[in-house]
Amino acid sequence: HAQSRCPNQLAKTIVYVLYAAQHFNTCVQSLSAVPGQPTSTRHWNFSIQRRFYSTVPVKSVMKPVTVLGSGKKIPKGPRTKQPSRTNQPTPKEDKCIAYATADQYHLPTLCHDLIAHGFYEVDLPRDASNALVICTDNAQKPSDNATMFFFREGSVVFWNVEEKTMKKVMRLLERHEIHPYEVALVHWENEEINYTIGEGNSKLQRGNFLLNSEIDPDEAVLDKFAFSNALSLSVKLAIWEVALDDFVESIQSIPEMLKSGNKIKLSRAEVMQKIGELFSLRHCINLSSDLLITPDFYWDRENLEMLYDKTCQFLNINRRVKVVNEKLQHCTELTDLMRNHLSEKHSLRLEWMIVILITIEVLFEVGRMIF
């Protein structure tokens, strides 16, 4: 019975081999087809199927997509050209952070509002009437108290305040701001400095604040006040520097117009508005701030004055003020040139009107004499 099955099995094997060889030749022809020559659709389908069902593992080049949780919103972009620092991770070191958020604060109502929300006030000497000191129990680290300094000129400095409490205070602060700044600009033009608490007198060392751990809390608050006062001037000056840069950008095309002989496209009212903006900025920097002189608070407190002056030197406040005033002087000369040009243009127009009126009167007289 086995011998009778062998010829049949051999015949089936030969038929399968021939069938496989025929299909192999067909696949080779389809893969080596010359471009432009007609090729069977069946052959291309076969080759595509072999490629699609390949068992060779392929490494994906797609990056994983991070999906935010249902309770989180996608953060919006900044409202100005500068990126915001709001979403940056909180540093691990002890830091004091300064922001300038508005032109001014209304300190009495701000103090009442903060106390109503669980904060408490720390008294300062009577001659420090332009500042408000608020403390909270929500400290970022237990090694130091959480202290906040609010300056009437529109700046705030946080010492060892946790991020959640800081955001809450910034929201409360919006109710008491006079002419607030843009949010993205506030978070971009800030100042962050590390500080440590150790032995020795309080000082500025290698770009960090060193606070004396052996003094009583009232003196420690005054040391922080001196550092914070300098930081508040720095962030306030940074806001004014941005305002000056925007002003320079708005008038940068005028020298090219004058150079090429084109007409100035600004009207007399617009030129006077530019002059008003320039003098308002000049008044803020040189008259209504303490950028040019040391405040009276430090006259009889030499140790605090040294801390204040050292911090101002570290932040290059004097050099920055000098550069800003040089830019303001150049802008003043340019606006004066624009005003003189428009005044001469207006005077020339009046002269031509007078000449035309005189000519018309002469023509009437000549016509009456002739006729």
**pLDDT tens figures, 39-64:** 433 333 333 333 333 333 333 322 33
pLDDT of 67 > 50? The answer is no
Q: Which of 184, 159, 179, 186 is nearest to 105 (CA)?
A: 179
**pLDDT tens figures, 220-244:** 899 999 999 999 999 999 999 999 9
What does the pLDDT average to over 185-207?
88
Q: Please state, rounded to an integer, the average pLDDT across all residues of the chain.
A: 76
The CATH number, out of the four listed (3.30.310, 2.40.160, 3.30.70, 2.40.30), of the domain defined by the range 95-216: 3.30.310
Give the start-to-end residue ranges of the domains of the chain. 1-32, 95-216, 237-370
Distance CA 164, CA 371 (A): 94
C-beta separation of 120 from 134 below 8 A: yes
The pLDDT value given to residue 93 = 57
Confidence of residue 176 (pLDDT cuts 50, 70, 90): very high
Q: To the nearest whole percent, how much of the chain has pLDDT over 90?
A: 33
pLDDT of 9 > 80? The answer is no
Measured distance between the N- and C-terminal CA atoms of the chain, rounded to whole angstroms: 151
C-beta separation of 147 from 159 below 8 A: yes
C-beta separation of 157 from 231 below 8 A: yes
